[in-house]
Amino acid sequence: MAELNKVMMIGRLTKDPEVKYTSSGAAVAELRLAVNHTYRAKDEKREETCFIDVNLWGRSAETAKEYLSKGREIFVEGRLQQSNWETQSGEKRSKIRMVADRFQFLGGRGGDRQSMAADAGGGSSEYHGGGDTSAPDDDLPF
């Protein structure tokens, strides 16, 4: 049986990226993306918003912190990852988030529609993270 875990989204950041570091020094950025879906129901235009947590690792995380801010529109491509934990009262919890392999700046800095060329490689407005984008083997500090 074939398996596929691939996600592509375009949305706006709901807050500035937060970068933290693992005990081994790997950078991880936490983004919150608002993705809208517009549809018609009984001749009425409706819109729903889905909020997605996104993690970027390594140089991608540092680039996001440097160039992205609340309200910025981006394209993100990656995979879904589920985290499971137990609360202090013994309740089981889980959360699904996106782990991004790459992202692309959309729109311009002041809300204009020009593409921003600001990646670490110089010239392109697209950033491909270097190396492995999965979480390191050590525990996350948050």
Chain segment 63-72, per-residue pLDDT in tens: 999 999 999 9
For 96, the token pair is 């699904």
Of 48, 85, 78, the C-alpha closest to 60 is: 78
Query: What is the CATH number that goes with domain 7-128?
Result: 2.40.50.140
- What's the pTM? 0.71
Per-residue pLDDT of 85-126, as tens digits, reads 999 999 999 999 999 999 998 876 544 443 433 333 333 344
Cα separation, 135 vs 27, whole angstroms:
10
Backbone angles phi, psi at 34, to 5 degrees: -100, 120
Of 103, 131, 101, the C-alpha closest to 115 is: 103
User: What are the domain boundaries of the chain?
Assistant: 7-128
Instruction: Report which residue type is found at 118.
Output: A
Cα separation, 48 vs 106, whole angstroms:
21
